[in-house]
Amino acid sequence: MIIINTLQLILLIYLGLSSLYILIFGFAGIFSKKRKQKEPLIKRKFAVMIPGYKEDQIIMEVAEDAIKQNYPANLYDVIIIADSFNPKTIQSLKKLPLKVIEVSFESSTKAKALNKAMEELTDNYDVALILDADNLMEPDFISKINMAFDNGFIAVQGHRIAKNTNTSFAILDAVSEEINNNIFRKGHRVLGLSAALIGSGMAFEYSYFKNMMKSIKAIGGFDKEIELHMLKDRKLIEYLNNALVLDEKVQKSEVFSSQRRRWLSAQLHYFSKDFSTSLKHLILKGNIDYFDKAIQFIQPPRIMLLGFLIVINIISIIWNSSPFNYAWAIVLAACVFAFIFSIPIKFYNFTTFKALFKLPLAFFLMFLSLLKIKGANKKFIHTEHSANKDIINKS
């Protein structure tokens, strides 16, 4: 009994601190840092880089959308970095007013594609804006990013929202991303910390980004390596909640499982790699941002956190002799309130309610992914995207 209670106490502390963490930042995310809207001091030149691997089905739609920004056409170049595209797709892309850079690697990664592209591009850019091959920008996206750089930031993360909510898994993925947006981006900025990067819809001062990328060798989680590099150097990352970019959400359980496996592997890899260094930087240099990022990596994914807490509370109710019954109930309540604070009102509907019945499956898939993460960070795992325009949300 002593051993069981000790193990339960350790688990309670870990999941309790994890729930408290998301509750604090989730609550902070309710508030906003108000900045006066003003005309930009200068209009910067953007390199809008879109790396894609075998994305022939969707790249034309994305490319045609990217060139329609409400921003001077001579001040931004759309650059498609085409890895293993069909020749016919390349020909179609070259008919559009954009740049096409063809790349091919024995082992493809986003970092390799971006580095190769910047080797071929001139340095006549002020900002590097990175999109995924399924992303669609709102018309004023570049204009809003440009204004953020007037405030002295060298890195800005836009607000990625769901392009589609056409399946239960897509809805759960969309809700999950908004929870993370509120906690790890908006909430963090409200409390003065850096926003988390998410891999696309993000922009950097061009020369800084080009120089930094030379040292980025990540296969999976290249955005996490960028974050750690920047936070270690005490660079603050801004978040624009009103700068929207649409991102396709996973529609099938097998894609969900593969994607989460890659993310979990990257998180644990960078936690083990950077935790001790971040702790030294916290103690010796007062670098809270860097340490906070390392702590984020050991946080359980939100679906797993909720799932574990529900299961443990059910067991505690059945097993009345547990001394931690009330404590587990409080921790579950903290987790649930963090979600309530973070989920946008538009998701409080019957469609989302129906999607919740897929949560047990999502939890099970996440748990299986945790058991299979070995080596997932050492090989490129491609997420397939849909070419069906009917999936796009217009709201």
The answer to whether position 370 is within a domain reads: no
pLDDT in the model for residue 254 = 64
How many domains is the chain partitioned into structurally?
A: 1
The answer to whether position 205 is within a domain reads: yes
CB 190 within 8 Å of CB 234: no
- State whether residue 315 is helix, strand or coil: helix
pLDDT in the model for residue 237 = 97
Tell me: pLDDT of 262 over 60. yes
DSSP 41-105: S----EEEEEEEES-TTTHHHHHHHHTT-SS-GGGEEEEEEEES--HHHHHHHHTSSSEEEEE--
The answer to whether position 110 is within a domain reads: yes
The answer to whether position 170 is within a domain reads: yes
Share of the chain above pLDDT 70, in %: 89
The answer to whether position 240 is within a domain reads: yes
DSSP 22-39: HHHHHHHTTS--------
Mean pLDDT of the chain, nearest integer: 89
Laid out side by side, the sheet with 202-205 consists of: 99-103, 76-83, 46-53, 127-130, 202-205, 155-162, 238-247, 136-137
Structure tokens at 158: 């836009």
The answer to whether position 321 is within a domain reads: no
Q: Which residue has the tokens 């999502």?
A: 362
User: How far is 198 from 242, CA to CA, in rounded Å?
Assistant: 16
pLDDT in the model for residue 394 = 42
Q: Which pLDDT band, with edges at 50, 70 and 90, does 390 fall under?
A: very low
Section 79-107 average pLDDT = 94
The answer to whether position 381 is within a domain reads: no
Structure tokens at 355: 């999607």
Note down the domain range covering 59: 46-256
Structure tokens at 300: 């359980």
What is the torsional sign of CA 198, 200, 206, 212?
positive
CATH code at position 224: 3.90.550.10
CB 148 within 8 Å of CB 238: yes
Tell me: pLDDT of 367 over 70. yes
**pLDDT tens readout for residues 141-163:** 999 999 999 988 999 999 999 99
pLDDT in the model for residue 366 = 78
CB 395 within 8 Å of CB 346: yes
Q: How many CA atoms lie within 13 A of 149 on its CB side?
A: 23
Section 345-356 average pLDDT = 94
CB-count exposure of residue 135 (10 Å: 0-12, 13-18, 19+): buried
CB 93 within 8 Å of CB 61: no
61 against 34, higher pLDDT: 61
Q: Which pLDDT band, with edges at 50, 70 and 90, does 218 fall under?
A: confident
The rounded radius of gyration (Å) of the Cα atoms in the chain is 21
The answer to whether position 334 is within a domain reads: no
